[in-house]
Structure 1
């Protein structure tokens, strides 16, 4: 089965319909940083409530709440430190699961940029139209272009989020189903748009240490966490913290992430970076 078909199947499954009851409170993530003390979220009680309310909002698109149990959005959004009034980029947002949550957190005074390249938008099918049609989320702007040509306004973005998507900037599809991209150029476009002090969170499937992304991304949909850290630091960001919320020591990093034995249970790394003030 081609890598493109696997990605298409994955995004289709993410759009499956589901129940409408509000999710339970999520436990706090275990976090580590360069210091010996785990970092705090940097959010006030009111800002944490905005995240909680966005996840519990019954107007979310049908099916989204079914995915909360394995996506654990409370962990992700708290770690991102997203707040009302912010401008946030959801990078390779696909069908917009996180775009909608971000939209509700930042509110009418904020903005979310749902960024996709043409391939991600195509794989997402009708989901973007369902999510953003009829001005359903008026503070969301869709941007679709090649990563090396993304036009983010300089010094305008407070936070950016990559969820299971950064590895695709390293993807060299052997079947030609995905265009080769330049991660350094893509990150340069994004970093120039970040305000001083802005946060970037990257959540991705972990590959074995030392794995060549040319192989691990194409065959397994995984990336060595050391490459993530190397790339974002080379782009001018400072490593700030790591969350162990999605770690799974039982994952041996050898299975494709779509394998039923490991699907939604992969060992995942979640890093937070900051743009120096």
Structure 2
């Protein structure tokens, strides 16, 4: 009896494995099928809700490549930090409208009112956007704690350094993200051979300095991309001399237009899945 039992058991296992091997698993395939992400993202970028002036900057800001690098998906809950006039909001809102959720963490004041008016003017595109206020240290609830799949901030960190509250921002990002959530950052990249100005008065931040600030908040660097690099930018001038600001007006305008927009770092961080991994 024991011999027969030992023979039947392997046959049963082999039969089971054979069935598993030939059985279709559509639910597993569907869970990992993100084939619709790129077309949906491209459609949002090409959409009529975007101004022509904003579309003209795609050659410098590379929204398709940047958001793809960060790993955005249509079903995500995403928080955009300090959206300004809404350059990226014009892409994120329609992309996330049907299956995801978009929080816009604005800084308050006149700029925030202008941004909210923009959203109200086109409810078909922006009607589901949730606007929150981010004014550290008092107001830092950018989304419900642990609710966000992704937090994105574009060309903002250098401004926070001047106010000395950058740590509060990173803490807010960490608190809003789920374990395993992504923090995506682009910003003007300083010359690594020069010491970091603690207030970034020229608008540039060293990449290693940015990584260190994020890691001090508990994040881990997943990757860095050269998508938004610009080797023409020697970073020997305030970033605002370059387009789109062109703060000097007509002075040296041709020179700065020839450089184009700033050299930028593009960094992807993760909130570790466990507290133990964050230390």
Assess same fold via TM > 0.5: yes
8 Å Cα contact 1:96/1:128 also seen in 2: no
How many angstroms apart in 2 are the aligned matches of 1:268 and 1:125?
28
Among 191, 212, 218, the residue aligned to 1:230: 212
Q: Which has the larger radius of gyration?
A: 2
Alignment partner of 1:57 out of 40, 47, 52: 47
Question: Could you say what secondary structure the match of 2:146 adopts?
Answer: coil
Selected match of 2:130 from 123, 141, 146 = 141
| Matched residue SS, 1:213 | coil
The CA distance in 1 between the partners of 2:176 and 2:105, in whole Å, is: 13
**Structure 1 segments of 4+ aligned residues over 4 angstroms from their partners:** none
Deviation at 1:67, TM superposition (A): 2.4
Where do 5+ consecutive residues of structure 2 fail to align?
A: 1-31, 243-254, 274-279
2:58 counterpart of 1:75: no
Q: Give 1:124-139 correspondences, 5 Å limit.
A: 126-133=114-121, 135-136=123-124, 137-139=126-128
Counterpart-to-counterpart distance in 2, 1:58 and 1:192: 35
For the structure 1 residues 170 and 72, does the alpha-carbon distance in structure 2 shift closer, same or farther, using more than 3 Å as the test?
same
Deviation track 1:164-210 (CA, whole Å, cap 9, x = no partner) reads 11111211xxxxxxxx2421122112201101111111111111225
Q: Given that residues 213 and 224 in structure 1 are in contact (C-alpha distance below 8 angstroms), is that contact kept between their aligned partners in structure 2?
A: no
What is the alpha-carbon root mean square deviation over aligned residues? 2.2
Q: Which moved more, 1:255-264 or 1:70-79?
A: 255-264
Partners of 2:190 and 2:52 in 1: CA distance = 32
Q: TM-score, normalised by structure 1?
A: 0.73
SS at match of 1:147: coil
Does residue 184 (structure 1) correspond to residue 167 (structure 2)? The answer is: yes
Q: In the alignment, what sits opposite 2:245?
A: none
Does the CA contact (< 8 Å) of 2:54 and 2:87 recur in 1?
Answer: yes
Give the match's secondary structure for 1:211.
coil
Paired position in structure 1 for 2:227: 245
Residue 272 of structure 2 corresponds to which residue in structure 1?
Answer: 276
Aligned match of 2:262 in 240, 262, 266? 266
TM-score (norm 2): 0.73
SS in 1 for 2:240: coil
Verify the 8 A CA contact 2:37 2:73 in the aligned structure 1.
yes
Q: How far is the alpha carbon of 1:127 from its aligned partner?
A: 4.6
Map of 2:19 onto structure 1: none
CA contact (8 A) 1:89 1:157 kept: yes
Work out which of the residue numbers 155, 158, 163 in structure 2 matches 1:164.
155
Greater length-normalized contact order (CA 8 Å, ≥ 6 residues apart): 1
Aligned CA distance change for structure 1 residues 67 and 252 (closer, same or farther; 3 Å): closer
Offset of 1:43 from its aligned partner? Answer: 8.0
C-alpha displacement at 1:61, in angstroms? 4.4
Task: Determine whether 1:197 maps to 2:180.
Answer: yes
The match for 2:79 is: 89
> For 2:158 and 2:33, how far apart are their aligned partners in 1?
29
